[in-house]
Amino acid sequence: MEKVKEFLELDKEGAECVSRLTIHPHRAGSECSFYEDFALRGIRVDRVESGFVSCRFKVPPRLTDKSGNLATGAIANLVDEVGWAVVHIEGLPMEVSVDMSISFLGTAKLNDELEITSKVLGRRGGYSGTIVLVRNKETGELIAEGRHSLFGKQASKL
């Protein structure tokens, strides 16, 4: 436990950076939250089709680990968000994640341009399954493959 506390403890410079952050109250649906702004700022949607979304994302310094790689938590977040985006239907309540499985197959470095694609694998009732691929856009290297299952209300057939 002490090692964890030591790892998470901020040095003086880090503490000063955090103290300068301004976090405004979030009004759902009207603006990005601090989390969305921090984790997703810079993502660009390239293509949207029924059951398919393609995005690009340049790895920013704020999402890298001590080795200079895109943090695995940031990759998990991209799988979660882009996997959700491909099944969400505007006007219906948000889907909730039921299960997410990610294979981390490579690393992405600071300023690498990534291509993130999400495809619907299937739907049954309110349950949807997606696959999300995170690739280095320049080299084509597969960085991660995620499978994301979600549940939400179905659109009315009327």
Which DSSP string do the residues of 45-100 spell out, in sequence order? EEEEETTEEEEEEE--GGGB-TTSBBPHHHHHHHHHHHHHHTT--TTSPPPEEEEE
Q: Is the pLDDT of residue 96 over 70?
A: yes
Q: What distance lies between CA 93 and its chain's CA centroid?
A: 19
Give the per-residue pLDDT at 13. 80
Q: Is the pLDDT of residue 138 over 90?
A: yes
Q: Does domain 33-151 have CATH number 3.40.50.2000?
A: no
Residue 55: both structure tokens together: 């995005």
Please, is 145 exposed, middle or buried when counting C-beta atoms within 10 Å of its C-beta (0-12, 13-18, 19+)?
A: middle
Q: Please, what sign has the CA dihedral across residues 69, 71, 74, 76?
A: positive
Can you give the C-alpha Rg of the chain in angstroms? 18
Sheet bearing 52-58, strands edge to edge: 44-49, 52-58, 113-124, 127-136, 142-151, 96-104
Give the per-residue pLDDT at 158. 58
Boundaries of every domain in the chain: 33-151
* pLDDT tens readout for residues 3-40: 767 777 778 887 787 777 766 555 555 566 677 777 78
Work out the percent of the chain whose per-residue pLDDT is above 70. 84
Residue 108: both structure tokens together: 């992405």
Give the per-residue pLDDT at 2. 76
Give the per-residue pLDDT at 69. 96
Give the per-residue pLDDT at 15. 76
Q: Is the pLDDT of residue 117 over 70?
A: yes
Helix (H, G, I), strand (E, B) or coil at 23: coil
Q: Confidence band (pLDDT; 50, 70, 90) for 116?
A: very high
Structural contact between residues 16 and 82, judged by C-beta atoms closer than 8 angstroms? no
Q: How many CB atoms lie within 10 A of CB 8?
A: 7
For residue 56, what are the β-bridge partners? 44, 115
* pLDDT tens readout for residues 33-71: 677 777 788 899 999 999 999 999 999 999 999 999 999
More confident residue, 28 or 115: 115
Instruction: Give me the mean pLDDT over the 101-107 stretch.
Output: 97
